[in-house]
Amino acid sequence: MNTSKHIGIIGGGYAGLTAAYELQKQGYHVTVLERDDHWGGQAATIPLFDTYIEHFYHHLFGSDTHIINLMEEMGLADHLEWIASKVGFYHEGQILDFITPMDLLRFAPLSLWNRIKLGLMYLYMQRVNDWRPYERITAKEWLLKYMGQEIYDKVWGALLRGKFGNLADEVAMVWLWGKIKVRASSRRGAQQQEKLAYPRGSFQVITDALLERLRAGGADLRTGQPVDHVVTDAKEPNRVTGLVAGEGPFDGAHGRQKMAFDAVICTAPGYELLRIAPQITGPYADNLRAVRYQAALALLLVSKHSLSRIYWMNIPDRSFPFVAVVEHTNYMPPENYQGRHIIYVSNYLSPDDPRFHMEGEELLRLYTPHLQRINPEFNEDWVEQTFVLRDSSGQPVITRNYSQRLPDHRTPLQGLYLANALQIYPEDRGTNYAVMIGQRIARIVHEDLVEG
C-alpha cells in the first residue's frame, strides 16, 4: 500500500523504531524524533574497544519471541547466542549459586523445609496461567501468607526492596509471577539450566538493522530532537496535527521546528506524555500520573580482573549501597572485549537519591569497600574506565489491580497514541515487549487512518 500520510514518532528506543519500521512497511512516511544524541533508548550502547556494550546489562529470555522473530526477519537470527547463565546470591561474605533446583536445595540461608517450599513455589508459578488473582494482592501479602517470614525476609522481600526501594510493599504479586514465568521459559534439560540469549556484537546490531531499513525506506530519523509539545488543530483543539521539537529558538534547521503529522505516537514515559500534551486531563491523565517509576543507575567498570565467577549476583544485604553486580564477561567472554572484564554495579532508586547524581569516581569510591566484601582483592587500580548510566524511568512500579488503570493506546486527543512500558502487562517491561508494543501501535494507527 502506498500512502502520503506522515506519522511522527516520539522516541527512538525499540518501541519507536519498531513502530516506524512496521508503518514504513505499510507505505507510511515516518519521522522519528529522539531526544538523546543516540538511538536505542534503554537498550542503547556505548562503543567499547572494537565492539559495543549496553548502557544497562541486557539479555533475552526463551519466551522473547517478538524480538527473536524480528531479528529473523532482518536476517540476524544467527547472531543470537544462547549461553548458560550463572546467577548467584551474596550472603554474609559468601557467594551462593542460585541456578539449578539442586542449588536451591543447598541454599544455606533458608531452613531445609523453606528451600523445598521455595522450590515448590517456582514449580507452581511456572504452571499458572491465570494471573488475575495475583493482581489483587501485593507480593508482600502473598509471600508472607503462603511462604512465611523467612522466605520473605531472606529472598523475595530483600529482592523486592532492592528493585523497588520503599515502594516494594506496594508491588502487586502479578509482577513476581511474571518474573518467575519468564525465567522458567529459559530453563532447559534435566538440569533445568537457564540459558539466556545475547546478540553477538551487542544489541547495537538490532538497533543498526532497524535504522538501516528505515533509512533505506526514506525515513526521517533525527537524534538530539526533544519533543516539546503537541500542536493541535485551531478549529478542533482535541485533534493533534503536529509536534514542536528541537532546542533553542525557532530558526529553521538547527532550532525548534514545527512539523505536521497525520498521527503521532509517543513512546516516552507517561509523565513525559503529560508534559508534551498538557491538554490531556481526566482519568487518563490521572492514571498516568499515578504510576511511579524507580530510576536505574549503573556504574559500568572496565576492569583488568574479574570480580567473581557469577554473571548476575543479587545482593539482598541492605548494608550495600547497590543491589546487584552483573559481570557481563561471565556470560559473554572477555575475549570479546580485548580481555577486559565488564562489570555493572547496579541500582534501582528514587531519582531524588544523591547516588543517582554522582559521577563515576565518586560512585566508585563509595562502592569500592563493598565490592571488596565480594572480592577482597578488588581495588580501584583494577578499573581502567568507568561509565555512569542513568535512566529516570528505569522501572515502572506496578501496584494492585493495575489492569483497571492500564492506559489505552488511543489517548483522549485524536491522532495521538501512546506506546510505552506502562502498557506491558501482566509481563514486566523488556526489549521483547517494546517490539511487541511497537508492532501493536503500528496496527492500531494503520486501522484508524484507513478507517478515518
Ligand X SMILES: Cc1cc2nc3c(=O)[nH]c(=O)nc-3n(C[C@H](O)[C@H](O)[C@H](O)COP(=O)(O)OP(=O)(O)OC[C@H]3O[C@@H](n4cnc5c(N)ncnc54)[C@H](O)[C@@H]3O)c2cc1C
Examine residue 440 and tell whether it contacts ligand X (CB under 6 A).
Answer: no
Helices 139-146 and 173-184, axial angle in degrees (round to 10): 70
Report if residue 230 touches ligand X, rule: CB under 6 A: no
The answer to the question of residue 246 lying near ligand X (CB under 6 A) is no
Segment interacting with ligand X, rule: CB under 6 A, options 21-29, 35-43, 335-343, 351-359: 35-43
**At its nearest, how many Å lie between ligand X and the CB of residue 346?**
6
Q: How many CA atoms lie within 13 A of 23 on its CB side?
A: 37
Beta-carbon count within 10 A of 294 CB: 23
**By the rule CB under 6 A, 12 interacts with ligand X:** yes
**Is residue 423 within the footprint of ligand X (CB under 6 A)?**
no
- Asked if residue 41 binds ligand X (CB under 6 A), the reply is yes
Is residue 420 near ligand X by the rule CB under 6 A? Answer: yes
Angle, alpha carbons 429-436-121 (nearest 5°):
45
Q: Which of 26, 19, 10, 18 shows the shortest CA–CA distance to 450?
A: 26
Nearest position to ligand X, beta carbon: 41
**Cell 547524581 sits on residue:** 357
Stretch that binds ligand X, among 39-47, 110-118, 168-176, 181-189 (CB under 6 A): 39-47
Phi, psi (5° rounding) for residue 176? -70, -40
Identify which of residues 291 and 434 has a Cβ nearer to ligand X in the complex. 434
In the block, cell 514518532 appears at 9
42 binds ligand X (CB under 6 A): yes
CB 55, CB 389: distance < 8 Å: yes
Helix or strand run (H / E) with residue 174: helix 173-184
Instruction: Give 3-state DSSP helix, strand, coil % of the chain, rounded to 5.
Output: 40, 25, 35
The 188-227 contact track toward ligand X, x by CB under 6 A, reads: --------------------------------------xx
Q: What is the DSSP letter of 278?
A: T
Q: Is 396 in the site for ligand X (CB under 6 A)?
A: no
Binds ligand X by CB under 6 A, chosen from 232, 423, 432, 439: 432
Q: Does residue 59 belong to the site contacting ligand X (CB under 6 A)?
A: yes
Angle CA(169)–CA(318)–CA(183) in degrees, nearest 5?
65
Q: Does 11 bind ligand X (CB under 6 A)?
A: yes
Work out whether 62 is an interface residue with ligand X (CB under 6 A). Answer: no
Q: Which is nearer to ligand X, 59 or 86 (CB)?
A: 59
Residue 147 or 436: which CB sits closer to ligand X?
A: 436
Considering only residues 197, 296, 310, 349, which one is a binding residue for ligand X as defined by CB under 6 A? 296
391 touches ligand X (CB under 6 A): yes
Nearest CA to 240 out of 226, 258, 257 is that of: 258
Pick between residue 67 and residue 125 the one whose CB is nearest to ligand X. Answer: 67
Q: At what angle do helices 65-73 and 204-216 cross, to 10 degrees?
A: 50
Report the length, in residues, of the chain: 452
Site of interaction with ligand X (CB under 6 A): 10-16, 33-36, 41-43, 56-60, 226-227, 267-268, 272, 276, 296, 391, 394, 420-421, 429-432, 434
